Amino acid sequence: MGAEPALRLRGFEIYSGYLDASAQEAMLADLRAVQADAPLFSPMTPYGKPMSVRMTSAGKYGWFSDRRGYRYVQSHPDGQPWPPIPPSVLAVWEALVSRERAPDCCLLNFYGEGARMGMHQDKDEADFSWPVLSISLGDEGLFRIGNATRGGKTESLWLRSGDVVLMGGEARLTYHGVDKIRPGTSTLLNKPGRLNLTLRVVD
């Protein structure tokens, strides 16, 4: 594991191959335990359309969406509290962000074939001074980086299994999204797809 990003793009710091194969396997085992306690679900957007990405969360809060809007909640849709964030995930945050302030939420997004995430800002948190940390596992995903406002020229790059992205400073409120995944580019998961984790300070 290295401490310097391989690439900086519009303020996004990309740590290519940050997690080696064994670290990815260990983290995936921890995440399977999270999903056993808090199964993946497909949230509804405020516009009444289900998201193509399936998700769940770990930590004090989980991210949620329905016709009432986007927000953080303290329990899974089944009513159970979210499971704790696994130590293997927290270790990445501690190495790249802070040992003093832990994240409040680890959002797990699963992208199956055909799933995507439209351009958006992560702005449901109370304090934007903390970065959002993203970890990619499984098939490659085409990550698009935009601007501080909608529209304008964008740049894209393929994120691979084990890559970590840090979105802080000028990049904290930049629009970004995932256009598509490339099935079959990783053998980590037991089926085609990409698992993306984002760690956030909420309070």
Per residue in 12-48, pLDDT (tens digit) is 999 999 999 999 999 999 999 999 999 999 999 898 8
DSSP state of 1: -
Contact status, residue 3 vs residue 95, Cβ threshold 8 Å: yes
> Residues 112-144: pLDDT tens digits?
999 999 999 999 999 999 999 999 999 999 999
Could you tell me which of 129, 13, 113 has the C-alpha nearest to residue 54? 113
Distance CA 160, CA 179 (A): 14
| Structure confidence by residue, pLDDT tens digits, 64-98 | 999 999 999 999 999 999 999 999 999 999 999 99
The mean pLDDT of 158-173, rounded to a whole number, is 97
Is the separation of the CB atoms in 172 and 165 below 8 Å?
A: no
Q: What is the pLDDT of residue 87?
A: 98
CA 6 to chain CA mean position, Å: 19
Q: 């199956």: which residue's tokens?
A: 112
Residue 162 corresponds to which amino acid? G
Q: Are the C-beta atoms of residues 42 and 181 closer than 8 Å to each other?
A: no
* Domains of the chain, earliest start first: 7-200 (2.60.120.590)
Q: What is the C-alpha separation between 164 and 17, in angstroms, rounded?
A: 8
Residue 99 class from Cβ within 10 Å (0-12 exposed, 13-18 middle, 19+ buried)? exposed
Question: Rounded CA gap, 191 and 1, in Å?
Answer: 26
The answer to whether residue 2 scores a pLDDT higher than 70 is: no
d(CA 37, CA 31): 10
Whole-structure pTM value? 0.95
